[in-house]
Structure 1
Amino acid sequence: MVRRGAAALTAVLLVPLSATAAPAAPKPTVKQLKKELAELQKESDKLITDYYNSRIAQQKAEKAEKAAREKLAAAQEVYDRNSGELRAMAIAEYTGGEPNRIALVTGNEDPTALLSRLALVQHLVDLQDARLRGYAQVRDAHQQAKDEAAARAKELAETVGDLEKGKKKAERQIERIKDKIDQLYQAPGVRRSDGTWVPQLPEGSDNITPRMRLVKQLIKDRFEVPFGIGCYRAIQDGGEHPLGRACDFMLSRGGALPSGAELKRGEEIANWAIKNAKRLGIMYIIYRQRIWHAGTGAWRTMSDRGGTTANHYDHPHISVY
């Protein structure tokens, strides 16, 4: 009885030990994630390169088929003309329009003239035969080029489908890794209980706050912003620029309306800022004559300020607390 109780107690003591969960794997570092991101981007670039190589091969096949088709048309014209001449010769020879070869041999014509005429006839037949063989070669070359173009088109269609799937998969993975990298950063400074943040003072040669500097760097890393980023301005206009708490992410130069691709980049930057606003201390976003505020969580149309830049059509503006 004692032994049975001891065994039961031992079993109870052993259960928690065997059921203890393994320690959680450490979170990946920014360096590790960026390395993984670089590898995925390299894979995505390779897929794009393969796609364009396939397109070039298809274009070459189509060009070769077109050239062969043009040669075939020219050869067809020669073939039709020579076929007509051959038919005329055959009709003339076998219907009595011209003496046939037996009649020529058995007739009274001079042998030398007879041989010359026979040689001429044979020469014409051989010439027409050579032309017809040339036509057949051109015809066969066109068919081969046509078959190769069709096969290349089928191969390209399959390749493009596979590449498109792989490209989309790589892009999704890249976005997930970029999100993970963003989530490893937290806005510096003190956050109040109501969700707002204690303002910071600008510092450094760029005269912006640490919080704004973090947002600027994350957007620059993720979206590139090829037309530049403008932050500190000394002009006191009532906004956050002179306080070092705002940046403009330019999508064009000289007040020009951005291209469709750049407008899309602006939307992506604005959506990213909304998604990360709470964690990074973003206060409001202005883009395309609209303003989004962290306090309301919604876009509101703004009044017309009279220009592409003034209405923020050529850049998203982001301000932090």
Structure 2
Amino acid sequence: MTVPRVVPALLAVLIGLGVLVGPVAPAAADDEGGTATLQQRLDEAATGYNNARAEAQASEKRRTALVSQIAVLEKRISALDAQVQELSAAAYRNGVPDAATAMANSRSLPDLIGNLGLVDTLSERRSQTLADLRQARRDLADTQKDVDAQLTKQRAAQRTMGRKRAAAEKALADAKVGGQPTGGFTDNADDHPAAAGPPARKAAPKPRRKPTAAPRRSDGTYGSEGCSQDDPTSDGCLTPRTLHALRQTRAAGFTHYVHCFRPASFGEHPKGRACDFAAAKSGFGGAATGDDRAYGNRLAAWFIANADRLGVLYVIWYRQIWLPGSGWRAYQSGSDPSAAHTNHVHLSVQ
């Protein structure tokens, strides 16, 4: 029996529409682990946390300055109060001088001019002192209100930080990649929590250069940036903040192979906001061990120590993820070295 030509054509159309290929596949995974949904939720939560933290810090800084200003105003009010009391006491003892009294007590024209000048001076001094005292008290009241307002803003930002931290941890739990608190990493070469295999050879940590802080907006937060700078590690682009982080990392002595931009359907890499820092000197290979692993430990620890200055969104290394506010958490995103992040440290920048 000959199959009509229309049947293959119809089958092709149905397959193209997904009618004959079964249920819709789950969210696609990145080649280094994670899903579009997870990365989007982590991006939003970490960005929200960092911005709220910057706002809280700005409010605290402003509040501290205002408290110092209050101390100055209180000292000034105390001094003005003393002056007013002194003038009032002098007026009570000697009477309040006036023009008529000055004329009566003057024996000559020069005396009259001098006495009238003294009356004016004393009167102006008393009036100015009272005016200064009233203004200082108004300034103090306004400053105290500003302190209260800054404290309200700070507490609101702290509540936002708590919500964003919880949102990031829930995203990890929903994605079933772990999320349990872990020990993280330090500059110690034998630091290897939550990972199999022998410890790396211990070596004395080297001092690292503190990075130059990335530019911030006037409110202390990091603004959104486009992929506008050439990526020196690829043919792609980077945001200015990511390029700054890359340069500062290299200046601190972390000079192993790095690759940043890459085309992808989701995540920070195609936005120019992420870099992968190989544990090995020449490129990505198998799971890092020995000195390579120690290098990754030091690099991950350095990123965390300078997260605020670099605008770090999150860091992934050796089956763990660091998120602002949450710290290091288990991150089981795959089994191969790239997905498990056992051959490179992933840095995402806000």
| TM-score (normalizing by structure 2) | 0.44
| TM-score (normalizing by structure 1) | 0.48
Q: Which has the higher helix share?
A: 1
User: Higher relative CO (CA 8 A, sep ≥ 6), structure 1 or 2?
Assistant: 2
* Structure with max Cα Rg: 1
